[in-house]
Structure 1
Amino acid sequence: MGRDTDNKDKVPLIEHLSTNGRGSTGHPAGVNRALYKYIPLTIIVLQTTVMVLLLRYSKTQKLNEGQGRYLSSTAIVVSEVFKLTVCFAVLSYRGSVNEQGVIGRSSGGLSGLLRTLRCEVYGKPMETCKLLVPAGLYTMQNNLLFLALSRLDAATYQVTYQLKILTTALFSVLLLKRRLSLQQWISLIMLMFGVALVQLPADYKIGEGSSNEVDSSGMTLSRLVGLAAVLLASLSSGFAGAFYERLLKRSTQELWIRNTQLALFGILLGAGAVIIMDLERVLEGGFLQGYDAITWAVILLQAFGGLAVSYATKYADSILKGFATSISIILSTITAWCILNDFEPSMNFFIGTTIVIAATVLFAMPVKK
């Protein structure tokens, strides 16, 4: 082809990402803007709520005689394989990226994918290796969340995991030099108070204590393990999120390349976790032991949910995301209480949850100048 034809088939990467071939705004012509505002809200609510409830159910459902429960470590690896498959499909469809960060629309397919991987992944080892840190943290975080939802009811998990807002904010201050407003600091204090209130026993009254002494029964120990897992996952989520954002801001590589690198390391590190934690059980019962329709649904939500939320984040503003999180907490609580019979909410839980929801919305609201 001549030079003019080549230039027609290529567009700058940033322009291609921002327009998606649909015009300057990225929205299809004639589509109601309000629709694009609330579709992301629906995606976040459904993905977060259904994922948590299904994962909890998959870890607590009664099994048939002779049926074993699936291994969380293998489910995480399979989820990363699905993510990598989606990334490969997108990169193949969009065409290859050359050294100048330009997408060749006419060079898609398998050859374009291999060219992109050679140029952007294998050809830039230092850039690729930077993803080891967040990939390792996300792998640990996913294993912790599977553990937490096997020990905690979905509602308590949802409320407690909002501590990731606190850890993300703190690490953003440390790593990204971001400044928080007084309103945001107040909301973070409210968040901590609300989460602490949710953890109190049902018969605990502030100033009086609990009528029953806390024992060391299996149920109490199981709950403590679940809470510790959520706290560690929140810490991991906060650091990984801030670190990954810092990488994206300092890198010229597009998001789908970064997602591919994350998935590759996620598979390798996840496989390492399988070897360390469950090798003997895998050798005895197989890698996919205990998998059923619910398990595959959890894996698909885990894999595609993150990609869907990435899309939602592109179009939804921070206020909408705050409301989406709040709605998800409410739906999880109602479902866990009325349908799953997972827990009996106390007054402390209702008050604490209300405070957490208010803090979440307050943190996302813009500061009036």
Structure 2
Amino acid sequence: MASMALVGGVPVAVAITGTHSFLLALTKDDTGRIPFSSASVVLLQETTKLLISIAFSLSSRTWSVSTSDWVYLVPSLCYALNNNAAILLQRHMDSATFQVLCNFKTVTTVLCFYLLLRRTFTPRKWLALLILFLSGTLNTVSGFQLHATEWNPASVFITPIGVVGMLLYCFNSGFASVYSEVIMKRNPEPFFVQSIKLYFGGAVINAVLAAISLHSPADFFTGFSDLTWAIILTQAINGIIYGYVIKHASNILRLFIVAVSMLLATATSAVVLGAHLSFPFLCSAAGVLAAIVLFNTAAGDPKQKPKHSKHNHRNTLSNPNAHHHSPPPSPTKTV
């Protein structure tokens, strides 16, 4: 059942992530500014995810609340901080630099995956992940060629605060994703029951942040349009899908989904602008494809296989450590 949901959910996640930047661009006014409050949109996204989770968990009979549920507040707080930090950081660097450095979230996610889940990779898989990171960075740079006015070497800058902030931003993103995977896999509760606990904290935290950032309640829906609501709904659905991927597959699969989505975003922009796909983009697409094939066909490390295993299990993107049968360590032991 979980595998069927993944097969159906992954293409949807790719499509939503790949077209998100395009939808955001359509909402900009004549001055190039996004007219609505990001705090309002993030809060409504978290609330929508919470309502979806409640609706799908009504039939569950395994609902329970315990003092250990506080662990769900940790990733909620991390996500809330990053959503707001993404805006603040761009005051200390140009947008092009920010987009390029965001690719380091791939590196920090893999590092946290190794440290928190104690999962190891074969040299071939490390190579695949390195190719994925480099391909994502190349795709970001190739995207600037579609918007010549946004890419001006003379305007590139980053302050010392921006450097430190970007490091914290990337590590916080990787930690939040992998920590979510730890607690969701450790707990046998149904996915949507866990999602309620995760998104409830997110809704509360973002409600506080929205109240602080907005001048008055009347500003909450300022600048909203049909496209804004479409963004809220699609991003809420996307968040649910990514949570399901983390619960039943891994953050590694999520990284590959994001990489393919970014290629789709660049290709979509090229079609809309009537531009030709550049050579760097084609190299990036080839790199992502090579990384997928390389990672998915990499043989497992014989030294890590259980002695009773009689078959040579292949590691896949949805289960990068199929030969590893022990349950993930508890958050208290690994974090």
TM-score, normalising length from structure 1?
A: 0.63
Q: Does 1:270 align with 2:203?
A: no
8 Å contact 2:53–2:195 — kept in the other structure? yes
Tell me by how many angstroms 1:244 deviates: 1.5
SS in 1 for 2:214: helix
Compared with structure 1, are the counterparts of its residues 237 and 213 closer, same or farther at alpha carbon in structure 2 (3 Å cutoff)?
closer
Tell me by how many angstroms 1:324 deviates: 5.2
Q: Aligned match of 1:76 in 42, 48, 68?
A: 42
8 Å contact 2:103–2:137 — kept in the other structure? no
- What is the alpha-carbon root mean square deviation over aligned residues? 4.4
Which amino acid is the alignment partner of residue 272 of structure 1? Answer: V
Which deviations, in whole Å up to 9, do the C-alpha atoms of 1:189-247 show, x marking residues without a partner? 3234344545669999xxxxxxx9942x3xx459x999998876543332112111221
Tell me by how many angstroms 1:74 deviates: 1.0
Q: Which residue of 1 aligns with 2:175?
A: 239
Measured in 2, the distance between the counterparts of 1:317 and 1:133 equals 19
Q: Does 1:363 align with 2:298?
A: no
Compared with structure 1, are the counterparts of its residues 264 and 39 closer, same or farther at alpha carbon in structure 2 (3 Å cutoff)?
closer
Tell me by how many angstroms 1:48 deviates: 1.9
Q: Which residue of 2 aligns with 1:332?
A: 265
Q: Does 1:307 align with 2:240?
A: yes
Q: Aligned match of 1:183 in 94, 111, 124?
A: 124
Measured in 2, the distance between the counterparts of 1:271 and 1:200 equals 35
Measured in 1, the distance between the counterparts of 2:252 and 2:179 equals 23
Measured in 1, the distance between the counterparts of 2:137 and 2:256 equals 21
Q: Which residue of 2 aligns with 1:100?
A: none
Which amino acid is the alignment partner of residue 189 of structure 1? Answer: L
Which amino acid is the alignment partner of residue 48 of structure 1? Answer: T
Q: Which residue of 1 aligns with 2:134?
A: 193
8 Å contact 2:143–2:266 — kept in the other structure? no
Measured in 1, the distance between the counterparts of 2:102 and 2:286 equals 15
Which amino acid is the alignment partner of residue 295 of structure 2? Answer: F
Which amino acid is the alignment partner of residue 363 of structure 1? Answer: F
Q: Which residue of 2 aligns with 1:166?
A: 107
Tell me by how many angstroms 1:143 deviates: 3.7
Q: Does 1:96 align with 2:61?
A: yes
Counterparts in 2 of 1:44-193, with a 5 A limit? 44-58=13-27, 60-62=28-30, 69-92=35-58, 94-97=59-62, 116=63, 120-121=64-65, 124-125=66-67, 127-144=68-85, 163-193=104-134
Tell me by how many angstroms 1:43 deviates: 1.8
Measured in 2, the distance between the counterparts of 1:149 and 1:137 equals 18
Compared with structure 1, are the counterparts of its residues 251 and 233 closer, same or farther at alpha carbon in structure 2 (3 Å cutoff)?
same
Which sections of structure 1, spanning at least 5 residues, go unmatched? 1-24, 28-32, 98-115, 205-211
Q: Which residue of 2 aligns with 1:40?
A: 9
8 Å contact 1:141–1:236 — kept in the other structure? yes
Aligned residues: percent identity?
26
Measured in 2, the distance between the counterparts of 1:226 and 1:344 equals 33
Tell me by how many angstroms 1:51 deviates: 2.8
Measured in 2, the distance between the counterparts of 1:319 and 1:129 equals 26
